[in-house]
Structure 1
């Protein structure tokens, strides 16, 4: 193996490892990478699908899309440019993406900065501060999230109230379903390298205009007395509702979230309202029926009086990155 080939496989393995910092529904981390001598493959891990909550796999694939974007950025930060084939084989639906045609170019300074943002990005479900987000920041986040054909619609006050009603309805539906409750209980308040530990869950329901998910148990994260009146809400959506669209939506989520992190903006994904068919239809009504909703985002400036919550745990690199095809070469 030449020095260039060795540098490539090292960069691929490092990018796959860095991608493990990506957000995923309930921190399921449903991805598996395979490093090849001349490329990198992303596969979905069906064993970590929320079969009751997400039977179609929309959030499963969206989570993998976020990891895909993380890997793209990590490669660019190391000076590699790659083409990406999404859902390359219809007869192999678990193969979500493949990096091909990698060429060595100069390291991208913006990508290097975003890799730093990956290390500090987290989900803070507590109310945000009373300071509104600057319009320039919202514009920059929107531009980043819509670079690959996915769109982000900022909701006006009336739409936020509609969203609040839909989120409350979705929470009621899910809280009354024993399978959904059991699945949520399995992935929350646990110790280990996947799922949501108690330290990242609020100790009491936060005072928010749009209710967040009821995790069925209190966490240990102090909430405080704030509200989210200065928060903004947005709908991530696209023209189609197929796996490749969910994958791109995850990439858009990652791009927007990392940009928000760079700008000091807190992002909380709200998936409950998308998980229930009836409330997902209500979201589609906000789009006048011309788009398919993938995820709702709450954005705001974190309350400076509170320290951020801890990061969620991550699977070890050996559990998510397969280097057997290049080992010993």
Structure 2
């Protein structure tokens, strides 16, 4: 991304068209104000950019509807992990990640919306509506964050032995907090508790044939634009303090390192309702993109919140003050390893409906 003499970005790259390997990339200069273009174009492009968002097992369980002055976000039940996530917490959280991505893309374009979360009890699949857009001028920080969306990936291998700078960890914490969600960084004793909970959750899930069948389905769909291909999964169990999920396969090379310098944390809040799950996803996105900007690897650890007993363990670690939404590992990426490839993405036509504004896009 080019910068002017003051270090401000002069270009923002938008993904539009195909979101897979043949993704079309359009580069536009902020010399012409983005708000000179139709709002509908900004909405469509923001929805397309949200396709970069991570989701549980790369299910991408979202669908956007572009209206003349509104952007609506719905969950897609066909991509819901109903065995692993029966109450839909991770389903809605994944949509929250996409919602934050879209919000950032709109800020980079110079638009600030009113966000209505879970706006209509009569439409349970409608999780967010963006409306009331105000032109606020292109945000240079958001423009940089859009770039992070496109390079972010999930690396489940051990991180380096270099600790995360305290100032960087503070920025990641503040990014989550600005979205109304807390990040508790775990001490050494709590790391051991988290590791034990992860092992217990894995044992429970291994005893569920239905869950194993669901997992196998979503780890064999990479050619369909979703799921996890072998090249992003470690070829063997990495040496980590908290065990990661065992996908049972993988071709990503793993070195001899450990993650002793890694930081573990829990995103949590005081409510346990769909709107709070959505905000948790927005906070995860904000934390992850901030981490990406600083070269920090973030890996969500969802197993411990999928099993009721281990989720209660996490509640106890929070002193009963709130509800855990997801745990995570943070660490500086191992410089001796190239990053894993990006997971596949659905074609934008499968996730964004622009039929109501056809002819208004430019």
Q: Shorter-normalised TM-score: what interval?
A: over 0.9
Give me the TM-score of the superposition, normalised by structure 2.
0.89
2:199 equivalent to 1:168? yes
Distance in 2 (CA, whole Å) between partners of 1:148 and 1:212 is 27
Partners of 2:321 and 2:113 lie apart in 1 by 33
Output the CA distance in 1 between the equivalents of 2:331 and 2:79: 30
Gaps of 5+ in 1: none
Aligned to 1:286: 317
Equivalent positions of 1:128-139 (< 5 A) are 128-139=159-170
User: Hey, what's the Cα distance between the residues in 2 that align with 1:79 and 1:51?
Assistant: 38
Find the residue that maps to 2:215 and give its secondary structure. Answer: helix
Q: Does 1:108 align with 2:145?
A: no
The match for 1:328 is 359
Aligned mates of 2:218, 2:125 — CA distance in 1:
22
RMSD: 1.2
Match of 1:201 among 211, 233, 237: 233
Q: What's the secondary structure of 2:355's corresponding residue? A: coil
Residue of structure 2 equivalent to 1:84: 115
Question: In structure 1, how many angstroms separate the alpha carbons of the residues matched to 2:130 and 2:199?
Answer: 41
Aligned counterparts of 2:35 and 2:175: Cα–Cα separation in 1: 32
Runs of 4+ in 1 over 4 A off after TM superposition: 3-6
Equivalent positions of 1:240-251 (< 5 A) are 240-251=271-282
Contact kept in structure 2, 1:189 and 1:219, CA below 8 Å: no
1:41 corresponds to 2:72: yes
Alignment partner of 1:261 is 2:292 = yes
- Unpaired segments ≥5 residues, structure 2: 1-33
Distance 2:102 2:35 in 1: 19
Matched-pair contact (CA < 8 Å) for 1:174–1:181 = yes
CA contact (8 A) 2:112 2:135 kept: yes
Give the distance between the partners of 1:15 and 1:144, measured in 2 at CA. Answer: 20
1: CA distance, partners of 2:199 / 2:102: 35
State yes or no: 1:126 paired with 2:126.
Answer: no
TM-score with structure 1 length normalisation?
0.97
The match for 1:15 is 46
Structure 2 counterpart SS, 1:325: helix
Using the TM superposition, give the Cα deviation of residue 191 of structure 1 relative to its aligned residue in structure 2, in angstroms.
Answer: 3.0
- Which residue in the other structure is 1:272 paired with? 303
Post-superposition CA distance 1:7-36 (Å, at most 9, x none): 100000000000000010000000000000
Which of 219, 222, 237 matches 2:268?
Answer: 237
Alpha-carbon offset, residue 247 of structure 1: 0.1
In structure 2, distance between residues paired with 1:96 and 1:48 = 15
Question: How far apart, in 1, do the equivalents of 2:270 and 2:277 lie?
Answer: 11
